[in-house]
Structure 1
Amino acid sequence: MNKVERQKEIQQAEELLFAGPQALGFAKGLFQGHFVADWVLPYPRIPAAQQTELDHSLAELRKFLDEKLDPAAIDRQAEIPRDLIDGLGRVGVLGMTAPAEYGGRGFTQMANCKVLEEIGRRCASTSVFVNAHHSIGIRALLLFGTHEQKQKWLPKLVNGEQLGAFALTEREAGSDAANVQMTARPTEDGSHFILNGEKRYITNAAIAHVLTVMARTPVPGSNKTVITAFLVTPDMPGFE
Structure 2
Amino acid sequence: MTEQTLTSIRMEFKSKVDELDDIPDMINNAYDKLKIISLASYWFYSDKRDEIQEKLKEVIAEIKKAVEGMFAPWLFVDYASKWQQVGAAVSKVYGIQNRESNNLEGNWDGDAYKSFKDSRGFQATAMNTIQELCEKIHTQLLIIAEEGRNFYKSAIDNLATIISDAGTFAGEAATTAGASVPFTVGTLNNAITATVELTVQAITDFAEVQTKVWIASNELENMIKSPKGLAVNDAGNDAWPGPNTIEYDNKEDGWKWNS
The answer, yes or no, to whether TM exceeds 0.5 is no
More helix by share: 2
Give the greater-gyration-radius structure (CA).
Answer: 2
Relative contact order: is structure 1 or structure 2 higher (C-alpha 8 Å, sep ≥ 6)? Answer: 2
More strand by share: 1
TM-score interval w.r.t. the shorter chain? under 0.3
TM-score norm. by structure 2 comes to: 0.22
